Structure 1
Amino acid sequence: MTITSAMPKAKERKKRTRTKRVSSLPAIKLSQLPPSHIDLRQPLKAVLVCEHCKTWCPITGMQGKVQKLVPHHTGKADVADAVRCRGSNRLVQFDMTIPQWRQALTDAVKGASSRQATAVLPKAFSPQTDRTLRARAERTLVGRVADWDAVLPRVADADKNRRAVPAGDAPTEGPAVPLTTLHPKRPER
């Protein structure tokens, strides 16, 4: 297709966002952010994580007097309606230098690497635990049945004492306490 003078031409867009608007929220201090949420490797293209929408946002005005986050939207592109993030145009206060940031970042990496999980080794058994486990493994079905048979008379005595009505006057108010277990039946459909 050939280009003629009658064809429309796209208007040139601004390279950078330039606005005098400033967010009413307090300025973001770099020293209060985790070093891993800041990227100052290329100082003229510095970026940081927005506190509100948790996305990486460039800082505009790096060569000017006022540094602030560029206006940005929450959510993913082409998924939902464009909603302006509350952190847009928020001032950024550089209260640390690039070497200080690099040092804080290396310290954070060292701290994170020391927290890495290690192989979990099984705990050694104490002699008492070892004896208990061996005795449990050596028990047979006949031995367990004999243990239950030895306990059954005491269980029956406890149940009989629980069912017994205490001596003395019956309560004056309220219905009598049922001594049998009630089993409600569901209505048929």
Structure 2
Amino acid sequence: MANRKRPGRTRTKRNNRREPLLLSTLAPEDFNVRPGETKSIACPDCRTWRRIMGDTDLKIREHGEDALCPGSNQAVVIDIDVRRWQARQDRLLRDAMPQENRRSARQHYKPIPAPAPAVAQIAAKSTAVEPGDGRALWLLREMKWASTESAVSDTDTRRAKVPAGDAPLGAPPVPLTTLHPKRRAS
């Protein structure tokens, strides 16, 4: 890796003394001048892709393995509408792509899920759900109510009974009839 040359800027004022290469005379797929990307071109002499160097004075970067390629330092003139060229390239790329690989231009949205039911609705719907022992939930609820019904009934009956015997010592007697107090005349 120590022998590898670092790509730098072409600072030479030399060119190969040929007429400048007009991009309008080349096939659109033989160069890349997209904004934001490295400008590059297929050398007209050796057909290898090379960088276009420079900001205003554009040239094909020097290249060649053993000897300098005659296309090195060739002046390049961008005489095309770059946006129109880019739109055409994008269309060619899209058309060359198999249809199953293309994305649909239409956005497909997933359906919005229904709102969650209220807790009371969940309990009402859950009657069809079978618990582990195979009985329906509504049957289990009824069985639980039936098992507590007799205990509740017994407690209500005991509360309704009047206590037998005297009232506790020091306490006023418990009235057995409903009292209807009268207002005092003022």
TM over 0.5: no
Short-chain TM bin: 0.3 to 0.5
User: Which of these two proteins has the greater Rg computed from alpha carbons?
Assistant: 2
Q: What is the TM-score with the length of structure 1 in the denominator?
A: 0.43
Q: What is the TM-score with the length of structure 2 in the denominator?
A: 0.43
